[in-house]
Structure 1
């Protein structure tokens, strides 16, 4: 029987660590690296059943995709029920989510002391900044996580330092507290192999398409318990009317909970352009120098040349703001460069980006262009087939063949060859969330 076993769970001050053992058929999805997460608050007094939540939030979707059972000594009873609800949502979304049961020797119903604190996952992008504006009256604690778009590798230290500095400055300016979480949640699982097996079924990567709603929220559980945080929000990426297969949606995130804390999927009622409108109103009324950070390539500012920078700059203009005042070097001449890059397939775009450009196009149809360059771009965008912009960005055949080979390769051969090929050849660029 396929199985994953959580064992040797320990908590020292702000550090959580455990190991994961699995049956032979799942070995290719789990590395020899222990699971680790660190917090800037002590978790030494958090019950083991809550300490188990971060690792369960990462491995359960992998188990469900393989019909495997998961074993743990102790788990919070509320979270165990939440996992059943999340699994049901994922199984409705994906045919490959095939079941599997969580078995615990003990379930617990602790009695935490709640403080009324509201946490918000925050990067300073469009989505999380909009959520901050909507909830600013609650002075939410801004939570930033290292482990997905910024890896725990030393090579990413500068990017993490830049994000911490920027979020801390934002919090100081807006009278909020911060919480920083660091985890190896992507490297203790073999994400290249997960991608090799499941990329054919999903529009993005494993974590973005399947795991990140449950995974990111679950990482916060020991910290939230230690702080008495009773509400935890994650900003929506998509919006009502977009039925994309995506790892963070209301029918996933709204199910996530543990004793003392409920999670929420925020601003799903607003399109991305409408979220920019919320930010624009806030800028005009209260915070004229507000800076956003959404870049695919940098964390210490916006490059102004990647697809997300261009998309955000155009959206800011459509909301009546000047992009250069809010972190985006953008001029009229950039409209022509943007069009050439979209037509030329310079960026890997999926259905996610298609819907966001369609949202921009809807607003363009209601907007009078301010300059000839803007008029030319708006006219082009109104007439272009957005599906064609997506199709020119398909991954090369060599990548698809490699993934097919990896799915069927013996573990020993894969473990030696595939990660090295990925590191040396693909140069795949990480895509950053707006959150």
Structure 2
């Protein structure tokens, strides 16, 4: 029996067989349960290793072997792993983000129709949250000086630990709640293996009601607020640390200014275009488990700020020639990234101001085959990789560790492109093969 849903104006199935609505997952990703265990252990471990392997706490980037030996024998790094003040600060930060979501006005935007016939609504105010936060931070630094905003830098390891604890708490909570009646599960997270489902995410969109009809969606909230904005604040804290070390009234180095501008623009761009994530695989397909929780809350803010953290204690000036080159590389990458995403979003919204050519599919939808999307199947990833390289180059060529980001991003985006291609193959069938014959390159034209 089908009834009319007044809020969403879509057909909603009132009673549907549980096995049909939430079928058992038959395919593992990330190497199955063993891979899930490996990623769950190595992700937090890598966060600690990246910091200890590139820090003035251990004596360099990388630190000398003698320095590593003496550091491991000392209690400095061990004591720095946990700090209750840092834990409560992190919890306060997360609560602040929740409060901003609740109080700051924002548009309510509908997501895609889910397989149970329902359509969720999401509140869009992440950009306003970032502006408010940056205003408060700028006012604090202006009034009290850069020394007032080095807490993040000074408590880096402890904040990493706090974010991991928050990720674990959320992952276990949503996994437990996913067994309640009526929960819509992710198609890939209902395998029956406890470890794998906890890692990959069993429930598709865990949320809770906040007064009346308001819905707080945990996955979209974590995707763009606590982690991304904290990434910017992390960069700013590193810049303040550098300024304190350089002396009163000293300016940051050109490299530190560049990394703050580049990554700040990237974050603000994501927040300004918040509604576009509603059609991404993370939201429409993946469940919410430890993988997304630790990725959003810990990995993004603390591994992506590696360049700024290095520049805080290793103060290199790039000089004008390299500065111009790095700036140009980032600008070209950003242009490709933003143009490709805008073309995709406007085309998906039923508009085609650039008269882009497309391939009509049997499903009735169309695939763009001109512009940047005619050059590769993921041109936005192409731009992303160019920006990633520019960010790494702000640190010069003094250490390979700060180039970890570009290596990681190549692996991440290659894997994501492969997952997306597999989803599209199932979705479009023979039409996808026709599309691939026209758009041959997966990410970078003539390379891959």
* TM-score, normalisation: structure 2: 0.24
Higher gyration radius (CA): 2
* TM-score, normalisation: structure 1: 0.25
1 or 2, which has the higher helix percentage? 2
